[in-house]
């Protein structure tokens, strides 16, 4: 049984306060995936989805064991959730999201012509941004959805791992790194854990100096904390 609630999985954390510079994308350069075509991103995510499904190297197997040892959810529920993680990377679903939710490939890859009032010509374009994602620990699918959405918008993404799921996002990102080492998309993600409310970390990282947006998952306390 991969998911035994009796598994004792030690969790070691380290002091990241002294190395916060490694967790930001400097303003002096565009985000890494800014000029990567959406079609290339979708192809890469689809390949990652197949790796997630097959799990070469056992990244997800080890993550599931760790999660079962630290989660309050039943092992059977977590196993089913992990068995479905690959579905978030389905290329047809990704193309649907680009078209239905993001306005189409042309505005993500270049300038879309528009006509302004008074028949004046113009153009619009969507640009990737720098985002801190505060992940929830009550559903592994949060991690796969966050990776997909961060990738499709060509953003630079820092994941703050939940205390009760420090496993899923790093395992998924390990498959991304194995599929495409040093690819701009791979360089667009980091995942790290710190206890929420750690002032000497959050007053630096959760700052408009380094990041543009916070995406928070969770209940009312988590959202209120993110708003603060």
Determine phi and psi for 50, rounding to 5 degrees.
-70, -35
The CA distance from 48 to 53, in Å, is 9
Closest CA to 169 of 89, 49, 63: 63
Looking at the chain, the whole-number percentage of residues with pLDDT higher than 90 is 69
The CA distance from 5 to 222, in Å, is 26
- If one compares 199 and 159, the residue with the highest pLDDT of the two is 159
Helix (H) or strand (E) holding 141: helix 141-152
Q: How confident is the model at residue 11, as a pLDDT?
A: 53
The CA distance from 201 to 147, in Å, is 23
For residue range 55-105, list pLDDT tens digits in order.
999 999 999 999 998 888 899 999 999 999 999 999 999 999 999 999 899
Query: Cβ distance 31 to 188 under 8 Å?
Result: yes
Mean pLDDT of 123-150: 94
How much is the CA Rg of the chain, to the nearest whole Å? 19
Tell me the pLDDT of the chain averaged across its residues. 90
Q: How confident is the model at residue 198, as a pLDDT?
A: 85
Q: Residue 31 burial (CB < 10 Å; 0-12/13-18/19+)? A: buried
pTM for the full model? 0.90
Question: In this predicted structure, which of 16-20, 24-28, 133-137, 198-202 has the lowest mean pLDDT?
Answer: 16-20
- If one compares 21 and 125, the residue with the highest pLDDT of the two is 125
């Amino acid at each position: 049984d991969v998911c035994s609630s009796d598994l004792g999985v030690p969790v070691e954390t380290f002091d990241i306060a002294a190395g916060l510079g490694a967790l930001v994308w400097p303003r002096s350069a565009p985000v890494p995936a800014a000029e990567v075509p959406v079609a290339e991103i979708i192809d890469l995510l689809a390949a990652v989805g197949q790796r997630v499904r097959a799990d070469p190297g056992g990244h997800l197997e080890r993550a599931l064991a760790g999660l079962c040892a630290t989660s309050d959810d039943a092992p059977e529920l977590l196993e089913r959730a992990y068995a479905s993680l690959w579905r978030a990377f389905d290329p047809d679903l990704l193309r649907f999201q680009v078209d239905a939710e993001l306005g189409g490939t042309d505005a993500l890859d270049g300038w879309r012509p528009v006509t302004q009032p008074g028949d004046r010509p113009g153009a619009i374009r969507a640009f990737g941004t720098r985002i801190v994602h505060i992940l929830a620990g009550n559903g592994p699918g949060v991690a796969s959805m966050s990776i997909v959405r961060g990738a499709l918008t060509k953003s630079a993404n820092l994941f703050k791992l939940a205390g009760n799921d420090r496993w899923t996002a790093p395992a998924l990102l390990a498959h991304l790194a194995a599929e495409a080492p040093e690819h701009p998309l791979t360089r667009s993600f980091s995942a790290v854990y710190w206890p929420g409310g750690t002032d000497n970390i959050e007053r630096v990282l959760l700052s408009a100096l380094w990041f543009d947006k916070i995406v928070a998952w969770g209940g009312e306390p988590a959202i209120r904390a993110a708003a603060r």
